[in-house]
A and B are shown apart, each in its own frame.
Chain A
């Protein structure tokens, strides 16, 4: 053993001296030499017929070029959003007419059966109405958005997006593969968090986990779409699809910018370190099979998310209805709770009901808007919310301005992750500390951003 120890020490000493002599960038030099050798050999033995332009290579030259990569990405993304917004309007109105028409029938049935008023309130006004909202607001945009998104996914476009954005993430001290986990986050943040397993370095994986929430999941897209309709409606006097598209695109780009900023801050403070290198293979483009694509995106995504929303919305609708109708010392529980939150809500350009809706929406982001509408509705006037215009009226009667809608969009984009995502983070990190931070950081960012936007708007007398 002692000979070993002596041998080890002299060897270590030797290695240390040599390392100092060779300088710190040795690994880079080694890799560069290896690549040069591989290139030299290949040049001598491989003969390619270059006259024929390979379609994939041609496409990649445009899609991943420094000049066209970014505009194309934004154009495709806004295109998808535009189709979703423009296309979802009509079926949405139709569905809500259908479902709310059925509500009148249900009420009539309850009356013929002489059911007590509280039962009718709980089942019809609480549960059914929330359900009708979730289905009519969420189903059409999802049924358009998901097949389109799946199309680009199956086409092989997403790795190119990762490739384009890689240098930004590298500058932010994060891993290029984080983009892929963000793409998953568009579907569902919990899935996004699980997908961070593709990042090997624990440090960069944590960065990706803590910031995944800044990508709006499909539970939040309906809220964004509705806010876009309201805000463009108020600003441009009539609802304008193109403006709404630009608004949602802007919100998503803001989310990506915040992701980069927070990643950068994390890798400078809590999670210090340098980004590790990785190889990203750009798979060949494949034209997706439309049949399987439709079945998969509708069954696996649309119906799955809708069922989740419905399952959470039903009990949540019930709870909210009870909250709104149980009176304690002259006011409902909901009013009491909203009253406590009112001060902070006003400070960041929201109100107590909105904050309460976000808190009650912790189980799933899908139900934030239904809860909010229910709590406004329960205050008195019963509205048939057949269109976004009717909804707008209701909201503006409750003291909203375009700034409120903008702040809700920002808060929805940046606030704490839903319960499912938090549980997933706890499972993946096995740490209470990081789970807490995963909730605290976004909440802090969301509050700060909304506060700033509100102050600025007031400063310039925009409201």
Chain B
């Protein structure tokens, strides 16, 4: 079974990213709703060290950049702004494909503090794919002006992942964000994000199916893969299967006692 065009597109993009610049220690993706100041965060982190590239085969432009922090060099990819990863727009497909098949070392979700609920919808969806997530709680100055208060510590403990407050426009909190990214990627500690619990029927099915996906040892959470195998349209199901196959070949090659199915 060959790779689908889109799936191979991601690997082509990653190859390009790797050859475009010197080696980097970690790949970080920047996700978030539109109008959350995501690009301001991106510019604040990378400075002028960035350039834009096309997602192969798609008309979506992705900005990528590099920065150095505490002796580590990190590559940052600015994903298109989306409200969710479930609808079928090109932007959402690209963001979703990058987060799951691109296997970034961390995903920073930039959120708008003035309308947290809508932003959390996306954050929760990303936390289903990977545990390596950081919330960047941006636009705190606007929230203050609108007399909205957010209990950051409580949010952090409820979500089970780091929540970093920022006002990216003024560069406030960006250093803390960099440090949090480094701790998450190089610190060796895996966070345990809150997982969304679905209705009992679905939960049973999910446990059943993700147990079967476990042996593939994917970096993407098998529970998320199982969920998408159950509720998605055919193109995505095919993409996931081809990703699993790719992974399986890879695993078999690198470890002689590869998993037998």
**A residues apposed to B, CB below 8 Å:** 1, 3-5, 7-8, 11-12, 14-15, 18-19, 21-22, 26-27, 29-31, 33-35, 37-39, 41-42, 44-49, 52, 54, 200-201, 276-279, 281
Contact = CB atoms under 8 A, between A and B. Distances in A.
Given A34-B196, A39-B117, A200-B90, A45 B158 contact: yes
Interface string B225-261: 0010111100001000100010010000000000001
B121 interface: yes
A21 B205 contact: yes
A202 to B, nearest CB: 11
Interface stretch (B68-76, B148-156, B166-174, B177-185): B148-156
Interface string B87-106: 11110000000000000000
B10 interface: no
A201 B87 CA distance: 11
A36 B216 CA distance: 32
Contacts, number: 114
Q: Which 8 pairs, one residue from A and one from B, show the smallest C-beta to C-beta distance?
A: A49-B147, A38-B120, A42-B117, A279-B83, A47-B149, A45-B155, A200-B89, A26-B231
Contact of B150 (A11, A46, A201): A46
Nearest to A5: B1
B44 to A, nearest CB: 24
Given A4-B1, A33-B198, A276-B87, A19 B154 contact: no
A44 B87 contact: no
Contacts of B52: none
A15 B261 contact: no
Contacts of A18: 205, 208-209, 230
B62 interface: no
A298 B237 CA distance: 52
A277 B84 CA distance: 12
Contacts of A8: 1, 241, 245
B196 A33 contact: yes
A254 B87 CA distance: 33
14 contacts: A4-B248, A7-B245, A18-B209, A22-B230, A27-B231, A29-B202, A41-B155, A46-B117, A46-B149, A46-B150, A47-B148, A49-B147, A49-B148, A201-B88
Contacts of B199: 29, 33
Contacts of B124: 34, 37-38
A38 B148 contact: no
B120 A4 contact: no
A42 B149 contact: no
Nearest to A12: B241
Contacts of A37: 120, 124, 196
Contact of A46 (B148, B198, B229, B230): B148
Given A21-B205, A38-B121, A277-B87, A30 B227 contact: yes
